[in-house]
Amino acid sequence: MENVQTAVRDEYMASGFAGAEKDPQYLLVVRNLKKYFPIKSSFFKVTVGNVKAVDDISFKIKRGTTMGLVGESGCGKSTIGRTILRLQEKTAGEVFFNGQDIFKLSEAELRKMRPQIQIIFQDPYSSLSPRLPVGEIIGEAAREHGIVPPEEFDDYITRIMRACGLPEYYKDRYPHEFSGGQRQRICIARALALNPDFILCDEPVSALDVSIQAQIINLLKDLQRDFGLTYLFISHDLSVVEHISNTVGVMYLGNMVEFAPTDKLFSHPLHPYTEALFSAIPVPDPDYKMNRIILQGSIPSPANPPAGCKFHTRCRKCMELCKYVQPDFNELEPEHFCACHLYNTPERAAELEQEMQQLKKAEAHA
């Protein structure tokens, strides 16, 4: 019974993304992606459960645009990024890049694709080798993948550095000689040197001062315009995400609860969790009275999430159905997806009501 219900729900959740991988306007399509980490018993090392870091996520990113990904710490944002890049294997689901399923590629095919998909890490201090000069850090992977002929290599690295606001004489210096903002420019140049189509930005400005954050964000936007880049921008800072993103996905405890174009999401959030997040955005006006939505309790454990909607334990609009049945991730208006029982159609609400009654009966007999 449970497998049938899961299959039906997967069909509903992926309905707005079916066939998107064949549409050339989308560079990246993620459908029903899951990544679970096993929990081992301390003595016999038997798997006793799973941490559901990413639990049935679907989204798509158009070429040359930026998708922002927001949510509380521990909700699975970085795990999504690393799974998309196949830095770790998936548990289930599909990831299509340029129409190809990344997880069906052989090692040789994946190696050939690697330059096209790059990552900028959160910490510019630990992500650069202290033993290599800047020129070698930026050019090492480009040389390995044969991006340019050897005789053009030095000029190519110089052009990449200048595009990222780095003077040529930085080539022979080492990372410890630079500030955080300069180091992040080096990280961006290292990714750009491979001539990628897609760059995953994993909280690239969270370790920087606010004034430097603005410079890095503007640099990323300029590079996107000049090189036709596509970004997945992971961040806690909603103001930064609003500034740089074309679309935004909101995550909670391993699930995508809302996905929409940036202007629609910020002007008309549908999910109660999104409303609570946006109510916490600071407004630089001492006379402005904020209508803060305070969430009750703390975020549940991803190893033992609550049944039904994972947000129901903290939701001020919680209904009986929310406690038993997981909501569908539906397209409520063009390009605006939301997973909440508040927006069920009457027909779907009746189906889920029956499912809830069956679950209650099974719970009573257990």
Phi, psi of 259, deg, nearest 5: -150, 125
Strand-pair category, 66-70 with 230-234: parallel
pLDDT at 165: 93
- Please report, as a single letter, which amino acid is at residue 203: E
Q: According to the model, what pLDDT value does residue 292 have?
A: 77
Give residue 15's pLDDT.
56
Q: Please give the pLDDT value at position 303.
A: 85
Q: What per-residue confidence (pLDDT) applies to 166?
A: 94
Residue with the two structure tokens 């998309």: 84
Q: How many residues make up the chain in this entry?
A: 366
pLDDT tens figures, 234-273? 998 888 999 999 999 999 999 999 999 999 999 999 999 9
Structure tokens at 259: 């996905």
pLDDT of residue 1: 44
Rounded distance between C-alpha atoms, residue 230 and residue 240, angstroms:
17
3-state helix vs strand vs coil in the chain, percent to 5: 40, 20, 35
Distance CA 59, CA 94 (A): 11
Amino acid at position 37, single letter: F
Buried b / exposed e along 310-345 (16+ C-beta atoms within 10 A): bbbbbbeebeebbbbbbbbbbeeeeebbbbbbebbe
Show the CA angle centred on residue 348, arms to residues 346 and 354, nearest 5°: 105
pLDDT at site 287 = 65
What is the DSSP secondary structure assignment for residue 315, as one 8-state letter? -
Question: How far from chain centre, in Å, is Cα 215?
Answer: 22
Q: Which two three-digit tokens encode residue 325?
A: 């049945």
| Angle (CA) 132 137 141, round 5° | 130
- Chain mean position to CA 86: 14
Residues 6 or more apart from 223 whose CB is under 8 A from it? 163, 164, 188, 192, 229
Rounded CA-CA distance 137/339 in Å is: 43
Burial zone of 167 (CB within 10 Å; 0-12 exposed, 13-18 middle, 19+ buried): exposed
**What angle is formed at CA 60 by the lines to CA 301 and CA 326, rounded to 5 degrees?**
35
Strand partners, 118: 199
What is Dmax (Cα atoms) for the chain? Answer: 75
CB neighbours of residue 295 within 10 Å = 18
Mapped onto helix, strand or coil, the DSSP state of residue 174 is coil
End-to-end, the C-alpha distance of the chain in Å comes to: 15
Tell me, what's the pLDDT at 24? 86
Region for residue 34 given its phi and psi (left: phi exceeds 0; alpha: psi -120 to 50; beta: otherwise)? beta
pLDDT along the chain (366 residues), means of 10: 48 61 88 91 82 90 95 89 93 92 93 93 88 94 90 94 94 93 94 95 87 91 95 91 94 93 93 89 68 79 88 90 91 91 91 90 80
Q: How far apart are CA 156 and CA 281, in angstroms?
A: 42
| Locus of tokens 């000049």 | 226
Which residues does residue 49 pair with via DSSP β-bridges, in sequence order?
Answer: 39
